[in-house]
Chain A
Amino acid sequence: MSNKCNSLSPISLYIHIPFCKKKCNFCDFNAYEGIDDMIDEYESALIKELEFWIPSLENKKIVSIFIGGGTPSRIEAKKLSNIINIIKNNTYLSSDAEITAEVNPDDIPDWELSTLIDSGVNRLSVGIQSFIDSELILLDRNYTEQFAKKQIKKLKDVGFTNINLDLMYGLVNHTMDNWIYSLKQALELEPTHLSCYALGVEEGTLLKYRIEQGELPAPDDDLAANQYEHTSKTLLSYDYNHYEISNWAKTGYESLHNSSYWNMNEYLGIGAGAHSFMSNNRFSNIKNPREYISAIKTMSLNVNQQQEIKMEQVTEGEKIDESNILNEAMLFGLRMIRGVNISQFQKKYNIDPRLQFNEQIERSKNKGLMIENNTHLKLSEKGLLLSNEVFEDFI
């Protein structure tokens, strides 16, 4: 198998676990509380969907798996391990594949962490969000600073070495001091990776409703900008490599899985609402878990006619035409701090991005949002925080 691997094209797998103990007020992800009774059926559906796809993965090498949510730690570790094993046994899973699972701090005590390690999960992403108790309450997070710290230490004790912490800034009523504190607590835990996100007030969330009703003030964008700048400066001094707008890592610990999105590599999403990008097609599964489960149930697996199988679970698909592929390559590539590598772009798409996007690049450079050097096109420091002003030109 291994000599064959070189000729295989890389692909990443995303597996979606939509269950949550409590849906956070800011969350617009495909996640639900109070549907835990579906967990067993959902597991079966995931496995069945995976089996449908296995023949299509024949010529691919799986370089990363990301189990995200919702809250993957909401379901038993052995269920996840079971799924990983099916992948291992039926596809070409790279021996150095990055296998990440998202974890919520308050699920850690009940999780069989050793089972996870044994199944090959080698990276955990912990949704801490804040180390300040009052903020955790505001964010609907059901744990305290001390509890969260204890759990992270526990993860390390059982042998997880590659841990990401998710933190949020730009919160409602946030202050610079609070953010400095949270960031400092995170750094003391010495994670290999940090994702720091500005709180987004998303359509359809309870948070947005409350802000519109005037119950809560809208987050202060200028404060968020200051907090972002503070973050960049601090993490640089702690030897973290800022490699994407919202992501920092110790050298060698940049997320392989997430980088594959930004590099426009292929990925396959399994589970309710999961998105895929394969052969220049973007498509996604039915969002509602119950409907997803029943769609999967109606599919019959006929290996001989696998070309004919109708993917009942897929709801939306879009073939991305060539010019839009180039646009998307810029949209994703510019999210990375090093930017779009000009020669690699040219090699991959047979066109010099500076020619293709001459006008757009000039406009953004004139606004001081983009920088061009011999090898890369990248966002300026100002451009990172104003990236949507650049990106609208690539739509």
Chain B
Amino acid sequence: MRNLIRNFSIIAHIDHGKSTLADRMLEITNTVDSRNMRAQVLDRLDVEREKGITVKAQAVRMTYSLNNKSYELNLIDTPGHVDFSYEVSRALAACEGAIIIVDATQGIQAQTLSTINKAKELGLKLVPVINKIDAPAAHPEIVSKSMQDAFDFIEDDIFYVSAKNGDGVDELIKGVIERIPAPSMVNNNKLQGLVFDAFYDQFKGIILYVRIIAGQLTDKEKYVLYAHNASFEPIEIGHFSPEMVKQKTLETGQVGYVATGLKALEGSLPGDTIVNANDKDTIPLEGYKASSPVVFASFFPNDANMYEKLKDSLEKLHMNDSSIIWEPITSKALGFGFHCGFLGLLHMEIIQQRLEKEFEVDLIATAPGVQYNITDHQGKSFYIDSPSKLPAKSDMRTVKEPWIELSISLPENYLGSMMKLMEEHSAEYGSMTYLTPKDIEKNIEANVLLVYNMPLSEMIVDLYDKIKSYSQGFASMNYEDIGYKEANIVRLDILVNKEIIDALSLILPANRAIDKGKKYVAKLKELIPRQLFDVPIQAAIGGKVISRETIKALRKNVTAKCYGGDFTRKKKLLEAQKAGKKRMKTLGSVDIPQEAFMAVLKIKD
């Protein structure tokens, strides 16, 4: 039985066809009827479908017959974006092998390199695949050569497929069975179930995705989540195919789910171990190294009445995404909200979208920032992650900020513009490697890997979008933390009628503060309606005003004609005027529409 199980992931860069390949496998194994095939079944979250990326790890079971034996194939999905390397490692830990997809038209990407290295560290068997071989711009031989060079694959290792039309997928499934080892048997037969994901179901409580490393899980016995010390009796166990299918037991090597009936648990579930209730001396599995947030921003409900719902929604989200952290805050401008930490900018965007779409809480998000390390004159060192906590310059001996190593893979002809972009963002050149050489005959540009070091804060503004647009979409990137370095930063405050608008304060490099301040001030001038008095709008650094505009006092708000005729309508216009003012926030006796805050927060560099 155990020998017929294969647990594997698919590792791929965004758009290299991971979801499409998964779809074909589901079809070929008759797991999903092709008629019922919603394109890309595995991308369950709306956000995923919208962004064309996979965020949450998912697991689906397929069966496939080979040589009169029926194999159980568990495909554990991995997220395809750089923010989610933590989730990738969760998924990979539940597998014995992984399919590595590289796009035949694009070749190896920056991120593929880092994920493959991670899989190798975990000791997974890798199955290299070149996808999109039917695409007009495909150059599979060149890509194959570069994969052999970069990862020591041999020509015979590599599968050539078109996930779109299914060519080669059947052979690939056979390859998975032949090359990826079956789960190994553990001597001790006591249950060890590795939790690699979780979500909340309002009827069945917390549902855990589990890989049985040793022993057996049944729906009869009592279990304990080791790290949480929470006991439960399964309400239901089973697997995803891709919908939930009940089964009586999960055996060693199998992947499936357990509905616990538990309502809420503090802390991260993935990484915990399920053990038998009367086997408390079982040694738990090694959990995952928790990934710590690097990007911080505050979320405020658009409608103050939604605060509780926002809080509740964050708690629900945390159940399968333990990487998000938050604490309550109060802003004079935006009311009650939460200061949150994320794995990256995309992670922040995804959380924001999930809150808005799944949980239906409209949000205002403040500008994202990073965590700074401050050392004061007494030598005390601490971290701050919001502008309001940044001490005065005179109170800081040093300020350090997180740096990253940024790898960009791109066609050679974009090198010049990319290097210029890096320079503009204070990036320090590291290295340049040719992944694939130029092919003059076929008119294919060389694929180059550029490595730079730079502050993370530069990255999270809008550099990702710029990298894409400077290379007309051809570049891809990956980054890794490389520790803290000294920073030259300031806090920019925006004042309306001499009062600081707390939600608009931000920390940024000193050389960019003036420009940003001017943009903020100009935007506010445009969006704050004229008041009955002159309203100064200022940008200030450490109390020194660096930009100022004045909204001149309103001089005319009059209904020129008012006779008997349409008095009812005139009254309605006055009612609308009054209601409009009610919706505004009054700060420093200035009525400011919410849209003004939102528009300013959306300003990019």
Asked if A385 and B556 make an inter-chain contact with CB atoms under 8 angstroms apart, the answer reads yes
The smallest beta-carbon distance between B439 and chain A, in angstroms, is 50
Asked if A200 and B563 make an inter-chain contact with CB atoms under 8 angstroms apart, the answer reads no
Cα of A332 to Cα of B555 in the assembled complex, Å: 21
Of B555, B560, B563, B574, which one neighbours A261 at CB under 8 angstroms? B563
The smallest beta-carbon distance between A368 and chain B, in angstroms, is 8
Given the interface pairs A395-B571, A395-B574, the reply to whether A388 lies near B564 with Cβ below 8 Å is no
Pick from B244-252, B357-365, B507-515, B575-583 the stretch touching chain A.
Answer: B575-583
Of B555, B564, B574, B577, which one neighbours A385 at CB under 8 angstroms? B555
Q: Does A118 contact B (CB under 8 A)?
A: no
Q: Does A198 contact B (CB under 8 A)?
A: yes
Q: Does B384 contact A (CB under 8 A)?
A: no
Asked if B568 and A282 make an inter-chain contact with CB atoms under 8 angstroms apart, the answer reads yes
Asked if B558 and A386 make an inter-chain contact with CB atoms under 8 angstroms apart, the answer reads yes
Given the interface pairs A245-B560, A246-B560, A392-B577, the reply to whether A225 lies near B555 with Cβ below 8 Å is yes
B residues with a Cβ closer than 8 A to A are: 532, 552, 554-568, 571, 574-575, 577-578, 581
**List of B residues within 8 angstroms of A395 by Cβ:** 571, 574-575, 578
Asked if B557 and A388 make an inter-chain contact with CB atoms under 8 angstroms apart, the answer reads yes
Cα of A198 to Cα of B567 in the assembled complex, Å: 18
Going nearest first, the 4 A-B pairs with the smallest beta carbon separation are A225-B555, A197-B560, A392-B578, A261-B564
Q: Which of A301-342 contact B (CB under 8 A)?
A: 316, 318, 328, 331-332, 335
Asked if B557 and A387 make an inter-chain contact with CB atoms under 8 angstroms apart, the answer reads yes
Cα of A224 to Cα of B555 in the assembled complex, Å: 9
The smallest beta-carbon distance between A238 and chain B, in angstroms, is 21
Number of A residues, CB within 8 Å of B: 42
Cα of A246 to Cα of B556 in the assembled complex, Å: 13
**Closest chain B residue to A196 by CB distance?**
B560
**List of B residues within 8 angstroms of A277 by Cβ:** 564, 567
28 sampled A-B residue pairs with Cβ under 8 A:
A29-B565, A68-B565, A197-B561, A221-B554, A221-B556, A225-B555, A225-B556, A245-B562, A261-B563, A269-B564, A275-B565, A275-B566, A277-B567, A282-B567, A282-B568, A284-B568, A331-B571, A385-B555, A387-B558, A387-B559, A388-B559, A388-B574, A389-B532, A391-B574, A392-B578, A392-B581, A395-B574, A395-B575
Asked if B560 and A198 make an inter-chain contact with CB atoms under 8 angstroms apart, the answer reads yes
Cα of A284 to Cα of B567 in the assembled complex, Å: 11
Asked if B558 and A245 make an inter-chain contact with CB atoms under 8 angstroms apart, the answer reads yes
Q: Which of A218-242 contact B (CB under 8 A)?
A: 221-222, 224-225, 228
**Closest chain B residue to A388 by CB distance?**
B557
Asked if B557 and A246 make an inter-chain contact with CB atoms under 8 angstroms apart, the answer reads no
Asked if B567 and A221 make an inter-chain contact with CB atoms under 8 angstroms apart, the answer reads no
Of A282, A367, A384, which one neighbours B558 at CB under 8 angstroms? A384
Q: Which of A337-395 contact B (CB under 8 A)?
A: 367, 369, 384-389, 391-393, 395
**Closest chain A residue to B566 by CB distance?**
A275
Asked if B558 and A275 make an inter-chain contact with CB atoms under 8 angstroms apart, the answer reads no
> Which of the listed residues B558, B563, B581 has the most CB atoms from chain A within 10 Å of its own CB?
B558
**List of B residues within 8 angstroms of A276 by Cβ:** 564
Given the interface pairs A392-B577, A395-B574, the reply to whether A224 lies near B564 with Cβ below 8 Å is no
**List of A residues within 8 angstroms of B577 by Cβ:** 388, 392
**A-B contact sample (4 more), CB < 8 A, given A222-B555, A246-B561, A277-B567:** A198-B560, A200-B560, A275-B567, A318-B568
Q: Which of A151-199 contact B (CB under 8 A)?
A: 197-198
As a 0/1 sequence over residues 277 to 302 of chain A, the CB contacts with chain B under 8 angstroms (1 = contact) are: 10000101000000000000000000
Given the interface pairs A282-B567, A395-B571, the reply to whether A200 lies near B561 with Cβ below 8 Å is yes
Cα of A53 to Cα of B561 in the assembled complex, Å: 27
